[in-house]
Amino acid sequence: MEQQKPRVAIQGIRASFHEEAAFKFFGENITTIECNSFKQTFDKLQAREADYVVMAIENSIAGSILPNYSLLLSYNFPVIGEIYLPIQLHLMGLPGVKFEDIKTAMSHPIAIRQCDDFFNEHPQLKVVESSDTAACAKRIREEQLTDTVAIANSLAAKLYDLQILERRIESNKKNFTRFLILTHHENAVNINANKASLCFQVSNEVGSLAKVLNILAEEGVNMSKIQSMPVLGKRNEYNFYVDVEWEDDKAYDTAIRQVLKYTHNFNILGEYKRYVEE
């Protein structure tokens, strides 16, 4: 029997950065489930219309995508992996279109912000915001727009048969986005895990968070990220989202047992292998 392709839910459409991240994690032999929102990707997973979700969680320029932390907690699907994707933005239009013919540039607001220097150099271009980078490329192809360009990745140029007029127009060449991969509990096998995403609350007393952080340090567990978010409807109460990395499983297990004494509503959102650039 032929093995079924993994169905991967992404926010956005084919050839978006989310699909590029999915290809990087799973390879290109997947079925991409296009969704209008991050919440919809989780709903597809919950309804078993998808096997996995690939979701952006932070960008090196724009910072953390805070609403997505809330989704992690409210749906409670395990994180089984991560991918860091360099964000390379290209200016693309229909084949044969010349730069001097262009009047309008379309893209996602975050992508537009990441190309400030380019737009400062070309103030004649009207900038139009859209919900998705790849959707802009698709629209140019479908509507045969000869005076409009999209800012998107090379995957979008290839899929929608567009010509790249200017490469790498992002202002910061070290721009990357981190994506998390989530699935159903029965699919979550954490072989050789050396990273975990945790969420917990601490009491509103002096030094309560410091106690937790000291335990991690004493056990040699590295905290690679901390993000706090207010607990909805509770004054002075915060969820702390913490990513930790370790070399020794025993040290991690000991640290977790100790941390439990000083936290409440403690959740392990996922244990997985740390992403290492090949």
Q: What is the CATH number of the domain that holds 153?
A: 3.40.190.10
User: Is 200 a catalytic site residue?
Assistant: no
Q: What CA–CA distance (Å, rounded) separates 152 from 177?
A: 14
Q: Is residue 2 assigned to a domain?
A: no
* Shared-domain flag, residues 102 and 159: yes
Residue from 42, 179, 200, 263 carrying the catalytic annotation = 179
* Shared-domain flag, residues 261 and 227: yes
Contacts of 211 (CB under 8 A, 6+ apart): 202, 262
Cβ–Cβ under 8 Å, residues 273 and 188: no
Q: What CA–CA distance (Å, rounded) separates 224 from 215?
A: 15
Determine phi and psi for 17, rounding to 5 degrees: -60, -30
Q: What CA–CA distance (Å, rounded) separates 147 from 144?
A: 9
Give the Å distances, CA to CA, from 228 to 10, 143, 225: 25, 44, 10
Q: Is residue 250 assigned to a domain?
A: yes
Give the Cβ contact number of residue 274 at 10 Å.
16
* Shared-domain flag, residues 32 and 132: no
Give the Cβ contact number of residue 262 at 10 Å.
18
Contacts of 163 (CB under 8 A, 6+ apart): 92, 93, 94, 95, 96, 97, 157
Q: Is residue 98 assigned to a domain?
A: yes
CATH at 255? 3.30.70.260
Give the per-residue pLDDT at 168: 97
Give the Å distances, CA to CA, from 92 to 14, 78, 81: 16, 37, 32
Q: Is residue 277 assigned to a domain?
A: no
User: Is 177 a catalytic site residue?
Assistant: yes
* Shared-domain flag, residues 78 and 181: yes
Question: How many distinct structural domains can be found in the chain?
Answer: 3
Q: Is residue 242 assigned to a domain?
A: yes
Q: Is residue 33 assigned to a domain?
A: yes
* Shared-domain flag, residues 224 and 181: no
Q: Is residue 1 assigned to a domain?
A: no
* Shared-domain flag, residues 118 and 251: no
Q: What CA–CA distance (Å, rounded) separates 91 from 93?
A: 7
Give the per-residue pLDDT at 204: 84
Q: Is residue 278 assigned to a domain?
A: no
Strand 148-152 with 90-93, pairing: antiparallel
Mean pLDDT by 10 residues, the chain (278 residues): 82 96 97 97 98 96 91 96 97 97 95 94 96 95 98 97 97 94 91 96 91 97 96 90 98 97 96 91
* Shared-domain flag, residues 106 and 205: no
* Shared-domain flag, residues 59 and 180: yes
* Shared-domain flag, residues 95 and 82: no
Contacts of 19 (CB under 8 A, 6+ apart): 10, 12, 13, 32, 134, 155
Q: What CA–CA distance (Å, rounded) separates 83 from 52?
A: 14
Residue from 177, 183, 200, 263 carrying the catalytic annotation = 177
* Shared-domain flag, residues 82 and 95: no
Three-state DSSP class for residue 46: helix
* Shared-domain flag, residues 181 and 61: yes
* Shared-domain flag, residues 122 and 253: no
Give the per-residue pLDDT at 1: 40
> What is the extent of the structural domain holding 74?
7-86+175-186
